[in-house]
Amino acid sequence: MARKIAVDYLKSRNAKEVYVHIAYALGVAEPLMATVTIDGVQEEVVGYDLRPQAIIEFLDLKKPKFRKTARFGHFGSVCEL
């Protein structure tokens, strides 16, 4: 979700560099912190539901579409099986 937020801010602000910072605490649905640094200027993230359940639903994470990537990572298997 942080990557999506970063890409959205890059496009909407025509920025060169964006960092997204999100902090959670166990048992608390809302993030404790959600900020974005756009070309060195920090501000609050707005317009996104960052509760874990909302992220799961938005990114449709219940479907096994990432199973192949998760098995060996983005670069594949390091050793041959």
**Mind listing the pLDDT tens digit for each residue in 43-71?**
999 999 999 999 999 999 888 776 776 67
CATH fold group of domain 2-72: GMP Synthetase; Chain A, domain 3 (3.30.300)
Instruction: Please state the pTM of the whole predicted model.
Output: 0.77
Going from N- to C-terminal start, the domains of the chain cover 2-72
Strands laid side by side in the 18-23 sheet: 18-23, 33-38, 41-44
> Given this model, what pLDDT does residue 77 score?
61
Q: Residue 74: pLDDT band by 50, 70, 90 thresholds?
A: low
Would you state the torsion angle of the CA atoms of residues 49, 55, 60, 63, taken in this order, to the nearest 10 degrees?
-160
Q: Tens of pLDDT along 16-48? A: 999 999 999 999 999 999 999 999 999 999 999
Q: Is the pLDDT of residue 80 over 60?
A: no
